[in-house]
Each structure stands twice: as C-alpha cells, then as structure tokens.
Structure 1
Amino acid sequence: MSSQAPVTNRPLVIAAVMASMAMVALEATIVSTAMPQIVTQLGGLRLYSWVFSLFLLTQTAMTVVFGKLADLYGRKPVILAGIAVFLLGSVLAGFAWSMPAMIVFRLLQGAGAGAILPVTLTIVGDLYPAHERGKVQGYLASVWAVSAVLGPMAGSLIIGKLSWAWIFWINLPIGVLAALGFVAFLHEQPVRKRPAIDAAGAAYFTVAVAALMMVLTDAGAAGAGRLAVEIAVLGASLLLFVRQERRAADPMISFRLWGHRPVLACNGATLFSGMALMGLTTFLPMYVQVAMDRTPVVAGFALTMMMVGWPAGATISSRTFHRIGLRRLLIGGSLFLPAGALVFALLTPGSSPALAGLGSLVMGFGMGIQSVCSLVLIQEIVPLADRGSATASNLFARNLGNTLGAALLGAVQNFGMHHAAGLGVVSTEQLRQVLDGAGRHLAGSAPVREALHHSLHVTFLAMLVIALGAIAAMLLLPGIEIARRQEVPAE
C-alpha cells in the first residue's frame, strides 16, 4: 500500500513567508523609534549607531552565505534556522543589560535576517511559475509598505505603555507562527547528495564584507591609522577569498553565476537604485523640515509617498511583464528613478511639499517595477540548484547599494555644507540646533537653512547621476524570453 507524499499548500506557505518578512520589516522601524529611550536607560550613547550599522553589516554578509546554504541543504531547514537565530537574538536583546550586550544580540538578529529574506524569496520562486510569481511579490512589497507605517506607531505605543523589551519580544509570536507554517505546509524533496561546504570561502567573504562596510562607514570620520588597518584587512580578505573560490569544488560565490550578463546587469541596476533609495530616505525629510521649514509630519508624508509608489509599481509590473516583456519593463521602470531624482534637484525652499511627495512617489514606483522584474528574471534564468544564490546576490547588491549610498551621498552633503558659496562654514552645533528645531526661529538660523539647501541641492544632483547609472546598467541587459513553467506545484 503506497503512501502519498505530503503536498505543499502554497497559500499557507505564502502566509508564513509574509509573516517572516513582516517580522524583519517591522523590526527596522520599531527599533529606530525606540532606541532613543533604550539608550537613555542602558547608557553608551557613543555606541548608538552601532546598533543599526552592525545589524546591517551582519545581514548583508549572511545573505549570500544563507542563499548558498539553501541551495545545498534545501529551503526549509535554512529558513527555520534563520527564524530560530532571529528569535534568539530578539529574546536576548529584550534582556540586554548594556549597549555592548545589545550590539551582540543585534548581530544575532542580523544573521537571522540574512537568512529570512533571501530564502523566503527563493521559496516563492520555487512554488510559483514566473507568470504567477510577480503577483505574489506584489503582495510581499505591500508587507514592507504597511510595516513602514505601522512600525513607528507600534514602537511609540510599546514605549508609552510597556517595557522597551517588548520592542524585541513582539517578534516571538510572529516568528513561531511563521515557523509552524513552514513546518506544516512546506514540503520539498530531500537533498540526496552530500554537499561540500565552502566554509573558508564563507569566512573570507564575511570578513571582506565587514571590512568594506567599516571602510565606507569610517571614510572621512575615522583616523588615518584606523582606516588604513580596515583597508588592509579588506584587501587581504579579498585576495584570500578569490584564491579560495577559484580552487573550491563547490564555491560559496560562483563567479560564473555573478558574472552572467543578465544577472550582472540586474544586480548593477539594483545597486544603483539602492544608493538612490538611501539618498531619498536620508535627505528628503531633512530638506523638507529645514530648507522648506515644514513640520516633521509633513516631511514624513513626503517620504511615505515612496511606500505608496513601491507596491503600486510592483503590482502593476507583476501583472504586465509577461505581456510587455521583462527587458522593456526593466528599462522603462528605471526611467522613473532619474525622473523622481530630477524633481528633488529642482526643489527650492519655496516649493510645495507636494512636489517633494511627487518625486518620492515617482521614484518609489520605479523601484517597485525594478525590484520585482529583476528578481523574476534572475530566478528564471539560473538553474534550480543556483536559485538561492542568485536571489541572495540581488539582495546583497541592494544592501551594498544602501551602504555605498550612505557613504557617498553623505560625503557629498558634507562637502556642500562646508563649501556653500558666500555662506561661510556652518558648525556642527548650529546644524544640530536647526535640525532639532531649537534654533529654527532664531536670527542666525536663516544662513544655516540656506547652506543646507545648497548642500542638499548638490546631493540631489549626485542622486540624479546615480539614478542614471541604473538606466545604463539596464541597457546592458540582453533580450530574454521567459518560458512558462509547465509543472506548477499543487495546492
């Protein structure tokens, strides 16, 4: 008597995927809302930025590692391991007794997030053929949009009514439910071959990414000696990594895969859009609040329009790419990035905040198109055994773009502040007072606001150039026909 193998229930697996993503997406906005109160209790203000930067560092490095592990061991064990690590970090962060302890536990959370995001997207790629997958990814984009709105509200409510520890412990019910969903409803073929793990390659890659992000973070801020050490570590780890990958039987990073022209073009455009995204989220609220002299609520509204455009672009592209074609849609979608950046470059202190919101909406729309179509294309043109690695490479490009954008555009903004024609040098204390609102209506605040307008104008021009780079990368994309997959997993 033959027993029938269990069948994957696609809708319930997608529910688990969305819960996992919501956990990571909410964590980012909730923690940023609550950290000022947390640091007043734990002390260690000088370590404040490390809570965020080291989370991103670990997530970026682990994204590629876990993507490869998902190809070697299967999606289910790796996603369950990622959720377990993330929840462990969340529980411990709630018990943190100092800022160094908080940073260590945030590293654990970052490692878990580095598994959750690429593996969940790979699971979607496995379960749905290309012509259905875009619609599902539109749903996933809405998770990030809703989380961007609910996160700050939930953070403020928790801080006001409960202990700050619940900022982290709120992940427990979400993560447990997501894990149970994967255990009960995701069924995949067991891995029959004994995989060879390129542990040395993973270690060298992690060190190289950590060193790169430290160099980008410390450039222009750290002393020459410290920066020289970081650059030396980066160079040495890169040389060891390349040497290891060339001789490994099953390398952690496949140069053949990453150098494949369609993958390279999509990841290059994703890197540029990640840089532009960091410029938008970092500097647009500052411009609206200070240069335009508007309230934080108005600045938040202008930025939130991006989170309206992103799921809209993702949803529209998901429903049309099989008719229009991925290459046409990717090139057309990338045109929205410089269009939005041009709106920012044309802003003046007398402009309406609605104009800033329009630029944010347009850029978000283009990013939504690009993110969905790039992921669908990359997942479809690689073998199933490489899909996890390919998906992770795209997420890595976006994270690296965020870090590069923060470093590059921050340097441009600082240069503009110190070289505003005829306005003199603005001190850090003057800028802080105006940004905090304490000195906004003082007589000396007008020159500071004018200097900030000039510096951000230059920054927005740099962002426009970066957005044009996304178009250039997309033009390298060859024409590719995505065939409909015949075998669709049964529900």
Structure 2
Amino acid sequence: MSASTKTTNRPLVIASIMASMAMVAIEATIVSTVMPQIASELGGLHLYSWVFASFLLAQTAMTVVFGKLSDLYGRKPIMFVGIAIFVVGSVLAGFSWSMPAMICFRLIQGIGAGAIQPVSLTIVGDLYPVRERGKVQGYLASVWAVSAVVGPMIGALIVQKLSWAWIFWVNVPIGLAAAAGFWFFLHEAPTVRRSSIDIVGAVLFTVGIASLMIALTEFGVGNSGVALAWAGLFVVTLALFIAQERRAADPMVSLKLWGARMIATVNGAAMLAGMVLIGITTFLPMYVQVVLERSSVTAGLTLTMVMLGWPIGATLTSRTFHRIGLWRMVVVGAALIPVGTSTFALLGAGSSPVLPAIGSFIIGLGMGVMSLASLILIQEGVELSQRGIATASNVFSRNLGSALGAAFFGAVFNFGLTRGDGSMMFTDDELRLLLQGVHGSVAGDAGIRLALGSSLHLTFLMMLVVSLGVVALALWLPKDGLESAAARDAKAAQK
C-alpha cells in the first residue's frame, strides 16, 4: 500500500491535497455566510439548520467507511471517488429549487467530504517519514485558517456580483485540478484487493451514526419525541453492529483496534475537543454581539483567532515533537484548551472583546498542538494496512464531538433561558431584532442581555468542564512503550 516515492511527485501531490481540502474548508465558511440569503429565496426557513446538519451527518457517517476502503483499495481511487461525489453534489446544490433539495444535495457533498478529509491525511502519512510529516500537516492546517478568513469575503463577493449558485459551482474547477494532480503525480504500489468486504458492517455503521446524528439534531431543535425515536434506532443498530463486527472475518471497524488504550484515549480527547470547538463557534459570537454590544465583524474576528492559533500550534509541534516527545505534546496541547476556555468563564458585560479573542487563540493553539501530535501518534501506532481506518477514526471522533457538543451545549443554553414555569425569558423574534440592531425599550433590551449573559456564562462553564476532560484523557495516554516516532525514524535512518 505504501506509495512509491521514486515516481510520486510529493510537492505536487501535497498541492492537490491542499486544493481538495480547501474545497471542503472554503465551502463550509462560504455557505454559512450566504445561507441566510439563500434561505430567503428558497423558503423553508424552518429547515435552515438541516442545511448544515445534513452535511455533517453524511461526512461523519462516511469518514470511517472511506478510511477502511482506502486500506483495501488504495488511497488514490478513494480520493477520486470522494472528489467526484463532492463536485457532483456542488453542481446539484447550485441548481437547488427548494430547501429540501438543498439539504439533499448538501448531504451528497458531505459524503464526498467524508472521503476527502481522512484519506488526504492518510496519503501524507504514506508519503512522508515522521520527521517531515509534521511540517506538511502544518501546511494543511493553514488551509483551514486561510479559508476561515477568505471564505466569508469570497461568499459576499459572489453574492454581490454573481448568483449564489456560484458559491457551489466554484468547486468544479478546484475539484478537477485536484483530481488531475492525483492522477498524474500520485503513484501507489499495487494493492491486493481482498475478496472479503464487510458490507453489512458498513451499512449498519452508516445507519447507526446517521440515526445518532439525526437524534442529536432533533433534540437540539426541541423535538424530543422524534429524537427519542431516532435514538432508539441507534441503540438497536449499535447492538447489531457490534455483533456483526465480532463475527466478521475482516470487520469494517476493528473493535480491537478502536478499543486499544492509545487509540481510545486519543480519540476520546479529540471528541471532547470537538465539543468545545463547536461550543465556542456557536455561542461566542452571540455573546460578543449581544452582551458586549459589539459589531458582527468584531464577533467574527474573536472567533477567527481560533483558526490563527491552530496552524501556529501545528507548526510549533512539527518543529519540536521529535525532541519533546509525542506524549508530552498531546498533554501540552490538551492543557491549553481549558486555559483558553477559562477566559470565557471570566467574561462580564463590561469585558473587552480582546479577552475572548485571546482565549480563542489559546484554544486554537492547543488544538493545533494536540491534533497534530495525536494524528502522528495514531498513524505510527498501527500497521500500514490499518493506517487509513486509524486516521479516519480520529477525524470521525472530532466530527462526532461537534455533533454531541451542538446538542449538549444547546441544551445547557436553553436550560439557562428557561423560567421556573418552563417558559422562555424572551422570544426568538426579540433576540433576532436585537441582533439586527432594532432596539426596543431600554429596560427590555437590558433584560434580554442580562438573561442571555447569564445563560451563556453557564454554557461557558460547562465548556470549561468538558475541556478539563480533554486533559484527563491526555494524562491517561499510556507512556510505557510510547517511544517518539521521530526517534524510531532517526534510528532506522542511521542503520
């Protein structure tokens, strides 16, 4: 399965990887920027959240499946499949005639993204030794940082000058260029195709994760009855999936691999970190705009600091982990997350937006350090034939954490806004008008800000608790036998 570095043009393959990942990253930021206008044209505003949930649902459910398929059939063909699906979904999304159609086509995009993200990271692991891999992963992290800044500007420009459909169609040339790069410059060693494919396990896994994601989404919007029904389907599917994987000759998900202490610990930390990240993304802008009474631009800048800190953390890790060790880097990165989160717990009505900006930067720094060290740790801790599924498990855990965090912190936020009789302290319309700058009575606006500030403070405190769980799992990471992968690489080079 290892790539033939004699014939593979590594720099151009990395350029193709960066193009394919930029396609996914920019798409997320562009859509979030212009989606209000799209919803106003297509109608169905009550389905607004599902435009984003369908993408995340499909991406999370398919990540592990495509990771396993890349181990069986090679990275290159799976990348072609992922890019093709994403581009087709993008073209169709541009032709959407209603919100249900948009949701369906965004789901197709999510399936493609479920292949692109984990397989891209696996290709880097195949092509580069550990000492060089960290630097390359830092380049990939910078793609997300640039996309967070450039995406909204591109989205606003496209909407002003062209039809909103072009925010999806712009992916076509990028996807074709990336596919061409893989076709001409990535040359893998021949892969022996196995006849045993755990199709039943793949189907059960996909249905189970989809059920869980739908349950979390419905719970987040207050549909408890529907959420419980989907949760029941998840429990049944989970039991069937475990039974299937125990008896399958070549399981889609190796319970032994996922249950190993190192894999389970790293992925658990990634899941909790994903919860914290989605919590900040969701609630920090609201706090800055309503409670601190700052502009939406200021709110966006405080959040963008996460994407600034992330590549810096990844770059620092790539230059130091071979001396400090991967275990220590994971612990350091994990420890930075509650340090950053604690700044949100200290916020008050008179706070400067500089404080949450600093907290966001520290969290991004910690995420960059921990995610890169964890990824290298996982890739070097398994056999080459399992590298794809192991990498996908880490990406899956972070995505699942985002879904869990959205539901959990949403529930905490709503709890903080609920009166003793079960009614809300203010209506959605009152909050929407305040965010749009339409002020009511002074006392009424002050009451909304006070109630919202109290609820968000409770939400930030729960984020701090979850971030402490990241540290606890990082400290539980086994040190025995955990030699620095870079040190092993250096020893091998000396022989």
Do the two structures share a fold, i.e. TM-score over 0.5?
yes
What is the Cα deviation at residue 433 of structure 1? Answer: 2.3
SS class of match (1:350): coil
| 168-177 vs 424-433, which moves further | 424-433
What is the Cα deviation at residue 6 of structure 1? Answer: 6.6
**C-alpha contact 2:5 2:127 (8 A) present in aligned 1:** no
What is the Cα deviation at residue 48 of structure 1? Answer: 1.7
Q: What amino acid does structure 2 have at the position aligned with 1:182?
A: F
CA distance in 1: counterparts of 2:384 and 2:342, whole angstroms? 40
1:5–1:444 CA distance, 2 compared to 1 (3 A): closer
Q: What amino acid does structure 2 have at the position aligned with 1:321?
A: F
User: 1:228-267, CA deviations, whole angstroms, 9 ceiling, x for partnerless residues?
Assistant: 3212211111111111111111101111111111111111
The residue number in structure 1 matching 2:305 is: 305
CA distance in 2: counterparts of 1:465 and 1:140, whole angstroms? 30
**C-alpha contact 2:215 2:226 (8 A) present in aligned 1:** no
User: 1:260-318, CA deviations, whole angstroms, 9 ceiling, x for partnerless residues?
Assistant: 11111111110111000011111111111111111111111111111111111110011
> Structure 1 stretches of 5 or more lacking a match?
none
Q: What amino acid does structure 2 have at the position aligned with 1:308?
A: L
1:273-292 matched pairs, under 5 angstroms: 273-292=273-292
**C-alpha contact 1:211 1:230 (8 A) present in aligned 2:** yes
> Structure 2 stretches of 5 or more lacking a match?
none
The residue number in structure 2 matching 1:196 is: 196
What is the Cα deviation at residue 172 of structure 1? Answer: 0.8
CA distance in 2: counterparts of 1:222 and 1:477, whole angstroms? 37
The residue number in structure 1 matching 2:18 is: 18
Q: TM-score under structure 1 normalisation?
A: 0.95
What is the Cα deviation at residue 486 of structure 1? Answer: 7.7
Q: What amino acid does structure 2 have at the position aligned with 1:10?
A: R
CA distance in 1: counterparts of 2:73 and 2:393, whole angstroms? 18
| 44-53 vs 70-79, which moves further | 44-53
**C-alpha contact 2:290 2:449 (8 A) present in aligned 1:** yes
1:174–1:218 CA distance, 2 compared to 1 (3 A): same
Q: TM-score under structure 2 normalisation?
A: 0.94
1:485–1:196 CA distance, 2 compared to 1 (3 A): farther
Q: What amino acid does structure 1 have at the position aligned with 2:489?
A: R
SS class of match (1:231): helix
Q: Considering only aligned residues, what root-mean-square deviation do their CA atoms show, in Å?
A: 1.9
1:347–1:225 CA distance, 2 compared to 1 (3 A): closer
2:71 matches 1:66: no
2:322 matches 1:322: yes
SS class of match (1:404): helix
1:431-442 matched pairs, under 5 angstroms: 431-439=431-439, 442=442
**C-alpha contact 2:54 2:107 (8 A) present in aligned 1:** yes
CA distance in 2: counterparts of 1:270 and 1:287, whole angstroms? 25
1:476–1:225 CA distance, 2 compared to 1 (3 A): same
**C-alpha contact 1:262 1:477 (8 A) present in aligned 2:** yes
User: 1:345-401, CA deviations, whole angstroms, 9 ceiling, x for partnerless residues?
Assistant: 001010111111111111111011011111010000100000000000000000010
**C-alpha contact 2:26 2:148 (8 A) present in aligned 1:** yes
2:489 matches 1:484: yes
CA distance in 1: counterparts of 2:300 and 2:224, whole angstroms? 37
What is the Cα deviation at residue 41 of structure 1? Answer: 2.2
CA distance in 2: counterparts of 1:326 and 1:419, whole angstroms? 48
1:447-458 matched pairs, under 5 angstroms: 447-458=447-458
What is the Cα deviation at residue 16 of structure 1? Answer: 0.4
CA distance in 2: counterparts of 1:263 and 1:440, whole angstroms? 53
**Same amino acid, percent of matched pairs:** 60
| 225-234 vs 84-93, which moves further | 225-234
1:177-326 matched pairs, under 5 angstroms: 177-219=177-219, 221-326=221-326
The residue number in structure 2 matching 1:100 is: 100
The residue number in structure 2 matching 1:90 is: 90
Runs of 4 or more, structure 1, over 3 Å off, are 220-225, 440-443, 485-488
1:78–1:484 CA distance, 2 compared to 1 (3 A): same
The residue number in structure 2 matching 1:79 is: 79
